[in-house]
Structure 1
Amino acid sequence: MDLQYIFASFDGRINRAKWWAGIVIILVVSIIIGFIIEVVFGTGAFGTFLATVLALALFYPTYAVCAKRFHDRDRPGKTALYGLVPSLIAGLFQTWGLTGTPQEPNGLGWICTLINLGVLLWFVIELGILKGTPGQNHFGGDPLAAIN
């Protein structure tokens, strides 16, 4: 698997397996680095700043992975932004403590939770479960053609 192509390119198509692998890698990196930030720096101003930088840094590879998967579904890669941008904003609101606590979320907390849940369901169904366009489409050849 070409990691540079998966995480840094917006060209071409990837199949469901590569999308799942890319998302799992991004999630593991996020959890590990987020845990290190919280343990070393806590949830104070500098820890929150580093968590924000982490979220912004992981946005690009997440967008690249999702854009290529939307290409496989014969949809523009920009479609990923309809889910990723609201999720990023909701996550940043949570990082900055604007949503209450996990045990007692405020109104904004409930809205952010619903946004993240909606995007998660949409992406899992659209990108993780549904098959891509068979054969050639507007964004390139079938990524499964090389496997068969």
Structure 2
Amino acid sequence: MDTIVALLTTTEGRIGRQQWWIGVVALIAVSIVASIILGILSFGNATVLAWLAVLLNIALIFPSYCIGIKRRHDRDNDGTDLKILIAGSLIVNVLQATGIGTTPMDIGNGMVVPMPSIWMSAINLIFAVFAIYMLIQLGFLKGTAGSNSYGRDPLDGAA
């Protein structure tokens, strides 16, 4: 348990892909459980649920940053792109919660739903492409062999 806590709360050093995936799975599990609880607490109110989702995003920023920055360090990178990803995620989340970038659309029977505007759809597409790039960087590409400017290779001595 100490290992997972350290994984999600420290920013020093490097981690390999396996440790990163363990951290991601842990954060996904927490996110799913929290989303279910928040869905119940929102009493079906979409606006309340959207703002609770923003709060959940904020709560998960630090552990996400911790595992991401150590993974970027493993690839001898300072993590600027990770910071952009995290900030972009929060911005998109807040825009969705406020309804900025949506247009009301009548779907019949007196029901009106918010639909993303063209510019918001473009932002979502750009963000999705960048998120895929970061997923490849963090989850699939091998780290720097041997020591680098962020520490020793996490795979040294591993079988």
- TM surpasses 0.5: yes
Which structure has greater helix proportion? 1
The reply on whether 1:121 has 2:132 as its aligned counterpart is yes
Residues of 2 paired with 1:58 and 1:127: CA distance?
17
| Aligned-pair CA distance for 1:4 | 2.1
Q: Which moved more, 1:53-62 or 1:39-48?
A: 39-48
The reply on whether 1:24 has 2:35 as its aligned counterpart is no
Q: What residue is the counterpart of 2:98 in the other structure?
A: 96
Task: Provide closer, same or farther for how the CA distance between residues 32 and 116 of structure 1 changes in structure 2, counting only shifts above 3 A.
Answer: farther
C-alpha contact (below 8 Å) 1:26/1:58 kept by paired residues? yes
How many residues end up aligned between the 2 structures? 148
| Aligned-pair CA distance for 1:46 | 4.2
Report Cα offsets for 1:105-136 as digits up to 9, x if no partner: 21343134213312321112111111000110
| Aligned-pair CA distance for 1:37 | 0.9
Task: Provide closer, same or farther for how the CA distance between residues 48 and 104 of structure 1 changes in structure 2, counting only shifts above 3 A.
Answer: closer
| Aligned-pair CA distance for 1:147 | 1.8
The residue matched to 1:104 in structure 2 has which SS?
strand
Q: What residue is the counterpart of 1:141 in the other structure?
A: 152
Task: Provide closer, same or farther for how the CA distance between residues 44 and 124 of structure 1 changes in structure 2, counting only shifts above 3 A.
Answer: closer
TM superposition score normalised by structure 1: 0.86
**One-letter identity of the residue aligned with 1:95:** A
- Give the greater-gyration-radius structure (CA): 2
Once the two structures are aligned, what percentage of the paired residues are identical? 34
TM superposition score normalised by structure 2: 0.81
Residues of 2 paired with 1:98 and 1:104: CA distance?
10
| Aligned-pair CA distance for 1:36 | 1.8
Which residues of structure 1 form unaligned runs of 5+? none
| Aligned-pair CA distance for 1:8 | 0.8
The residue matched to 2:116 in structure 1 has which SS?
coil
Q: What residue is the counterpart of 2:41 in the other structure?
A: 40
The residue matched to 2:94 in structure 1 has which SS?
helix
C-alpha contact (below 8 Å) 1:67/1:79 kept by paired residues? no
Task: Provide closer, same or farther for how the CA distance between residues 96 and 146 of structure 1 changes in structure 2, counting only shifts above 3 A.
Answer: farther
Task: Provide closer, same or farther for how the CA distance between residues 45 and 103 of structure 1 changes in structure 2, counting only shifts above 3 A.
Answer: closer
Q: What residue is the counterpart of 1:56 in the other structure?
A: 58
Which residues of structure 2 form unaligned runs of 5+? 104-112
Residues 77-92 of structure 1: pairs in structure 2 closer than 5 A: 77-92=79-94
